[in-house]
């Protein structure tokens, strides 16, 4: 009898807490050098558009200070930086050193190393003082944290009163036909392409779609943000709900 494939919940539940965090970090370290290329291939280039739209929700601030959590290769941090004004600063934080090193190269190549600081930090323990940042952003990070409520609560803590949290993350497609197509893409095509291009043997391209399926959908994420103390929580679906941008105010 053929063995059944594990469900998304079973794949994600293989790790929990610190064990999950360690496994995720090993996987991202393994693919850091080809992460941007694979993102472009696997999203058909759409991830650039999604990040630009997310950055557009950042309210411009003169001499502002922004934090991009789970910055990875710094795409979103680079898009947010011009919205912080001429004297603004951006901190691009990520727990994974290899991903952050790729981001630091990109920041330096674009001549923005003097205004964007790459810093290794956990989303659940950011290490900044209360009420530090004028805006906090995150792109495709929240589904990988060990404790989601703790992470968004920590993000809220370091934000100034009245400031915005902009969260870009994969979500639940709104049409049943799109969900079926996306499931086929995620669990069949994505692992195959990821393995061929990245030569990945860590299981990251099985974990990633599973993490998307087990992540809270649009409304559930709104509830979690409200539980963490955020107000005026709203979201916008992109590409039929494959991706959603949540905007919340402290």
User: Of the candidates 16, 2, 39, 17, which has an alpha carbon nearest to the alpha carbon of residue 208?
Assistant: 39
Domains and CATH numbers, the chain: 13-249 (3.40.50.150)
Q: What is the pLDDT of residues 88-123, one digit of tens each?
A: 999 999 999 999 999 999 999 999 999 999 999 999
Give yes or no for residue 9 having a pLDDT over 70. no
Q: Is there a contact between 100 and 168 (Cβ–Cβ < 8 Å)?
A: no
H helices of 134-217, in order, are 148-158, 176-184, 190-198, 204-214
Q: Is there a contact between 26 and 202 (Cβ–Cβ < 8 Å)?
A: yes
Average pLDDT value for the chain: 88
Spatial separation of the C-alpha atoms in residues 129 and 226, rounded to whole Å: 22
Instruction: Specify burial of residue 199 (Cβ count, 10 A radius: 0-12, 13-18, 19+).
Output: exposed
Q: What is the pLDDT of residues 129-142, one digit of tens each?
A: 999 999 999 999 99
- Given this model, what pLDDT does residue 180 score? 92
Q: Is there a contact between 105 and 32 (Cβ–Cβ < 8 Å)?
A: no
Q: What is the pLDDT of residues 47-65, one digit of tens each?
A: 999 999 999 999 999 999 9
Q: Is there a contact between 124 and 147 (Cβ–Cβ < 8 Å)?
A: yes
- Given this model, what pLDDT does residue 7 score? 52
- 125 C-beta neighbours (distance < 10 Å), count: 10
Q: Which two tokens stand for residue 211?
A: 């993490």
- Given this model, what pLDDT does residue 3 score? 43
């Amino acid at each position: 009898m053929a063995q059944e494939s594990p469900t998304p919940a079973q794949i994600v539940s293989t790790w929990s807490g610190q064990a999950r965090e360690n496994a995720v970090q090993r996987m991202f370290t393994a693919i850091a050098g080809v992460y941007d290329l694979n993102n472009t291939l696997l999203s058909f280039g759409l991830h650039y558009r999604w990040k630009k739209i997310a950055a557009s929700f950042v309210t411009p601030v003169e001499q502002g200070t922004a934090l991009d959590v789970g910055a990875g290769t710094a795409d979103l941090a680079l898009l947010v930086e011009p919205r912080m004004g001429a004297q603004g600063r951006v901190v691009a934080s990520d727990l994974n050193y290899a991903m952050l090193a790729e981001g630091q190269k990109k920041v330096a190549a674009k001549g923005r190393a003097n205004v964007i600081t790459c810093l290794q930090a956990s989303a659940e323990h950011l290490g900044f003082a209360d009420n530090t940042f004028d805006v906090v952003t995150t792109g495709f990070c929240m589904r990988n944290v060990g404790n989601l409520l703790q992470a968004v609560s920590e993000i809220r803590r370091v934000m100034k009163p009245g400031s915005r949290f902009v969260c870009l993350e994969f979500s639940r497609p709104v049409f049943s036909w799109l969900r079926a197509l996306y499931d086929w893409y995620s669990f069949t095509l994505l692992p195959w392409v990821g393995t061929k291009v990245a030569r990945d043997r860590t299981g990251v391209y099985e974990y990633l779609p599973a993490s998307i399926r087990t992540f809270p959908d649009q409304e559930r994420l709104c509830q979690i943000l409200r539980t963490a103390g955020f107000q005026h929580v709203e979201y916008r679906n992109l590409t039929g709900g494959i991706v959603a941008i949540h905007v919340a105010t402290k």
